[in-house]
Structure 1
């Protein structure tokens, strides 16, 4: 910033974006980048900030190893540089760059057909679903810039042989400094913006690919607000939106913050491919804010300076627009996040897969009901986008999916009938209540619903086994052994999976329609964690929108759906006891999920978070739960042991569970977010022995601390 001190307002319009980029979709990504730059220019912006690795898409994963990916990135960048509609604005975009044989995750700034600066990411994300260190190296040379030799395809456009590459800041003609951060760098303890702010950098741009997790946006917004409140400055945060072809959903919400106050905020969820938010800010507000804290000035006087890279652009003196007033942050409740996040993810996957809709086994339980309500939410979002937002891209997608070139959706239930088939697959062990609940919900949301009795298929399979073995397995209620009982339960579940896929492929053909359906599964994260599901049963499918959502949050979401959609059938799901209905029902016995598991869903929720997020093994989990739960030490120890035994025995199931929408950090999805052994010793000898020792020590300590009966008598007499 100019060092002459405060003066009249130095206004500038800036823009931050969210883009629904798709890995390796170079033409589509190029088009969306162009659209946001043009929108930003039309709104008067002189700076436009895009999303992390937006040219190739963030989720390329091992495609980053391929020279094709790098070549197509440079080709796309050349197209951007030659597009005359994109001139007159400083653009920040992102792509991988190979420099001296090392691959970096880079921010590229260009202006008027010239590359201004290439800034490699200094702090890489490498936890949960992020694997940046698998592909990229972080730039380790602080405040160092060196020449980068441009490839011929860029040199022929820009007439530049080399450009600055490294850790520096951009300086405009009016001496205003612009610094870069990339996603993870905001979240590390010593963020780059701290040192840059002390070196007089006024504007910070952050290109992000930050995925949605329940309650994460609150933390993200608060972090930016408090960071700028501490150091002062204008922060342009951009974030990718959409599924990017994977199991995560990047939830957008671009924003512009000035000195700890929010000037502009975009939407967190939605179906639009691009969103641009702008704000008119006063650069001199930053100077005034910082100079009011003298201790900050003392620190700034001793800071090591960043290399400056000049850009032929002046930010001040051109903006006649009024300053943007500050606003309060907008947050969604967790129930709203479940309502909109997985729905947006499903829409992205459906439209890009070119399938004709979804098939959902609707059991009459709250889990499959949650999935149905999420699809219904998706239909509501589509109708709103077409009718209220006039989103032509969404309309084109609807017509392509429904194979109806003149169709315009106006009613969510009508659209649901075209995109969702629900099926109640009953057996002799199913109850009338679950069948009635499934039918009532299907009528409320508008899905095309079928009732299928699969007893005949099950009996045919058992007949084949009996002909071979000359034995007829029986349920436990009829005198059968545990192994017979389990096998008879599992065959019902697996027949549902096979039947479901048959109907998903042929139901549209039978209805005189074209296309096949994606199968949705509905196992929640608690069940997946403990292995309370049959391998290759109706918990198997193509996609699972609730696979990392706990039962507790699902119950809250379903109750929220009653308020939002007003479906009368929802009440019956909220009061129903979760049951698999795979065993004969009698007056003496009714199968329930929590009795089968041996743990309540609330207990599984606590255990799941301790296991993954707090990194607790059996012993430390026992110690932590002893402070959280009120129960005898022996009972607590038995519950911890039971969980880890079930987890070890059923670990193989996590390797084949349906790809699930990532919504919680303790999702057990194997080799994605939860890298654990495939084969365990379920005895956990040392670990369980430590728990037993701890219980014994606690009992002995309690006995030692208890006063004797004679002592009690003595004090009672006094």
Structure 2
């Protein structure tokens, strides 16, 4: 909870229809199980104290009387339960019968959320027994206590202001305007649903999409607890289809027909970050929904949900392939438009045999195809110098020829030697001047060839390099259109792999696969025994770690200590905590220090939610200080 993770549970109990005390006992038992699992919000199904399928038995006084006694028992049990608990029951008030969800905490009944929309079609006939809840909540007298009664009641944790919960009941979420909409607009970040949704063919898929969609639309966590085995099967069957969702993603889903308890963690800080950034998610200026406090202890939540090592890359192969095709199309469409608009005759691409320039060349070829241009007007320029290896040189040349580009070789060693002499640099000193002189010479060559050939220089640098500032200012940092500017390094690899897998040229495929197998390097230092001597990830750290950091820094604005915690979970068994901390510090130092390079980026297409364009997604002062972020990490080491 200290970092925003709230453990929640959706529980289907083994009920007996109309056997209130059996149901009460089962609810209390499962409530203790959920608490033992660490759940702070526990949700039970609709009308679970009696069973949803009591039908006209709901009008029996004895049943309603025992429900009140049983609810008191369940409420008393919450005195020993560190959680906010929602239980469904029929409630007789003022001569009317209502379908409600009672909120229980610390031995008390905090409120009764009423069902707003009563289904009275198909197999449902709730209006026969129940009355629709009031439009607004009011205070009622219940067993000598003044208790809130009505829709959209907000339950706020006294110990954690950001944790606000609201409930709705079954059909409410299926309606055109669910009550949860207004509750979310007034601050509810977790929504719960006590439900009794029966199983018919295909309904489970619709239910999944419904809950996913509602959690996405409201940028909220959604806990859906459904009735299951034990309900009457006179006409329908209930499957206990429980779902926990967060902003459009299902975190946990119960196996149907098994009466399971599912538990997961909802990250409310992540949700609040999303809401703050999303200007179309507008909270209401005038707050009119009633709010009641509940109590829980604030502690570190043990996490059971997983975090992908590569958050930019879909884990499902089919989805990944679809994503790769879409990204290549976005990149190529962006470049095609720029080529047509500028009336460029050619496109000039500096090729090194590395991943980034390979992707840029592939995208350029695709853009030329889309524009109906001949790929011979792609000028692929290889510029061997001190660090070039035969492997990367041969790959660059062969790839260019296979794509139909015009290969141009411009050795730059002589020019760089002259430059060293002019500025008085000792060639034996392999420092940043030694390296950057080569990078800037290459950019000058590309720009001038573009002038000669009435073309434009296509940028090759990717988003991960931009985040770390791993680019020579006014060297490979500069171009006329940067097609890879929004593509993280981990995704670059998959894009090239996808192209290799789908191209029909076996020779080209083999070259691309060898590029994928080549260490990432700017090749600015002389090779050792013919092999690459300068490996980027040895210098700045593993790109899979940096992309993980980048995702959570930009996408959700997480604090460094939280990112460190998530990285330890995601990379357990791959990197130890010391390594993760080392490169996380490196990430923050470089990210802040190198903003000046991102402030003057060339144009380039945005392909995902996370991007670093200074014109669109990331506006940051070039002289901002990283002290607060570094202090947060240093506190973990004390």
Q: TM-score, normalised by structure 2?
A: 0.48
Could you tell me the TM-score, scaled by structure 1's length? 0.43
